[in-house]
Amino acid sequence: MLVTGAAGQVGSELARLDWPSGYEIAALTKAQMDISSTESILTGLESVKPDIVINAAAYTAVDKAEENSELAHTVNATSVELLARATALNDIGLIHISTDYVFDGESDHWYAETDPPNPTGVYGDSKLAGEEPVLGMGGMVARTSWVYGALAPNFVQTMRRLANERTEISVVSDQYGCPTAAVDIARAIRDVLLVDQRPTGLFHMAAPDDATWWDLAVAAIDQIEPKVDVRVNKITTAQYPTPAARPKNSRLNSDKLFESFGVRLQPWRKALVEVSAELNAKQAKDSGASS
């Protein structure tokens, strides 16, 4: 297996995951394989000779994408098409990670794969554009939601940092999604591959329960060790304007993943305990090293 975007949240978890005997993984950073270059892609494929490529490379700066539209589309769409063509021509499977931001969030139900996408920002639009060539060339697209983890920067880590710096923070409480641990996405991909070594089609791959950003912030802060004393205020989306509009509801229904492969991710609060334990251990080690 070849994993792109090895320095990102999901890519780094795929690289350190415990894989069964017979599975070998080559996790490559952008410096090692730049998917915006056909030459770099072909060189990487020739070097690794994978049976399947897992594309975890992405431009994920949602707000910055509004002013860097060309770059976002290059990474999330044009480059993905190059990768999809190269893998298809070389008879290599492809799993591509996408996002809940392909939906506008105007519906009040949990989004299924059959719901029509309608992104409201450049990031979601670029990710949707990247899905088409993957699906068109027989690959698998796995949409996920509100990714957090212990490795690359993310919302949970930001909340922990702010809680250690301030006595009061404010977090949006009227947007709903499915907080999903990066390690759980990596495990789900592994478990899918154990069932089908060449999966195809569109699937949602997210935690089975929902939360607001405020819910996730409070839970993440509650699990900080040693405990911190900080007030977490609820605010509305209108009170926290951002360059890119966020969907008010981006809850993903992942039943199809379970029905097809028997794979279901764990509830987000349970997953957060595992991630928080690793972050607490890192914090204790860093504190010890600096004292």
pLDDT band at 243 (very low <50, low <70, confident <90, very high): very high
Q: Residues with Cβ < 8 Å from 174, sequence gap 6 or more?
A: 212, 236, 237, 248
Assign residue 15 the CATH number of its domain.
3.40.50.720
Helix, strand, coil share of the chain (percent; to 5) = 45, 15, 40
Spatial separation of the C-alpha atoms in residues 128 and 120, rounded to whole Å = 11
Q: What is the mean pLDDT of residues 2-23?
A: 96
> 260-278: string of b/e by CB count within 10 Å (b at 16+)?
ebebbbbebeebbeebbee
Spatial separation of the C-alpha atoms in residues 219 and 241, rounded to whole Å = 23
23 is catalytic: no
Question: What's the sign of the alpha-carbon dihedral 6, 259, 103, 169?
Answer: negative
Spatial separation of the C-alpha atoms in residues 140 and 27, rounded to whole Å = 19
Q: Residues with Cβ < 8 Å from 242, sequence gap 6 or more?
A: 62, 63
Mean pLDDT of the chain: 97
Tens digit of each residue's pLDDT (9 = 90 or more) over 92-127 = 999 999 999 999 999 999 999 999 999 999 999 999
Give the domain extent around 212: 2-290
Spatial separation of the C-alpha atoms in residues 67 and 65, rounded to whole Å = 5
Residue corresponding to tokens 């764990």: 266
Above 80 in pLDDT, residue 291?
no
Above 90 in pLDDT, residue 289?
no
Spatial separation of the C-alpha atoms in residues 133 and 284, rounded to whole Å = 45
Q: Catalytic pick from 59, 101, 123, 148?
A: 123
Spatial separation of the C-alpha atoms in residues 241 and 246, rounded to whole Å = 10
Distances (CA, A) of 245 to 103, 121, 202, 258, 283: 11, 6, 24, 31, 33
pLDDT band at 287 (very low <50, low <70, confident <90, very high): confident
Residue corresponding to tokens 């480059």: 79
Domain count, the chain: 1
262: alpha, beta or left, given left = phi > 0 and alpha = psi -120 to 50? left
Residue 220 near residue 158, CB atoms below 8 Å: no
What percentage of the chain has pLDDT greater than the value 90?
A: 98
pLDDT band at 149 (very low <50, low <70, confident <90, very high): very high
Spatial separation of the C-alpha atoms in residues 275 and 87, rounded to whole Å = 33
